[in-house]
Amino acid sequence: MKKCVVIGIGNPYLQDDRAGVVVVEQLEQGGLACQTEVVYTVGFEVMDKVRGYERAIIVDACKLGNEPGSILDVSVDDIFTTHALVNSHAITLGTTLKTGYVCFPEEMPAEIRILLIEVKEIKEFTQQMSSEVERAVAEVVARIRGMVAAMT
């Protein structure tokens, strides 16, 4: 298995939703001893990107009612909301990852860290994030650099 992967999830053209993508872009600029990937949905593509790695770090934007720019460090179990998949068009990140552990238990990472950044605005098509989310992105980049350094 390969050591680690950092996956940023988001829409690069949608205001604060682009936070996960920007985190990965900034990590790539400074070099990182870890593979990086960007995906635009929480569907099964995420499962495919984490398979074959010992550890994965996933960064995504969220709207859970916290202060904008809040950073949540959660587990797969924390975000797994239902044991019954309603339909493939309503899949969540938690359901995607749990499905991976059921279908490919030997190929899924032993450890997955999920960092969620609370958004302020996600309705406008722009590449300008809110200041709160920009600050959170910088903090997440620093945290991930520390996590990856601790893994090596």
pLDDT of 1 higher than 70: no
Residue 81's pLDDT is 60
pLDDT number for residue 93: 85
Q: How far lies 78's CA from each of 73, 113, 142, in Å?
A: 10, 11, 23
pLDDT, tens digit (0-9, with 9 covering 90-100), for 117-142:
999 988 889 889 999 999 999 999 99
Residue of higher predicted confidence among 89 and 31: 31
pLDDT score for 126: 85
Residue 19: CB atoms within 10 Å = 30
Q: Which alpha helices (H) appear in the chain, and where do they start and end?
A: 19-29, 44-50, 76-79, 93-103, 131-151
**Predicted pLDDT of residue 72:** 93
pLDDT tens profile 59-80 = 999 988 999 999 999 888 877 6
Cα–Cα separations (whole angstroms), residue 59 to 30, 97, 102, 129, 151: 17, 14, 22, 16, 18
| Fold category of 2-151 in CATH | Rossmann fold (3.40.50)
Instruction: Quote the Cα angle for 7-82-15, to 5°.
Output: 40
Question: Are the CB atoms for 121 and 15 separated by under 8 Å?
Answer: yes
Contact between 144 and 88 (Cβ < 8 Å): no
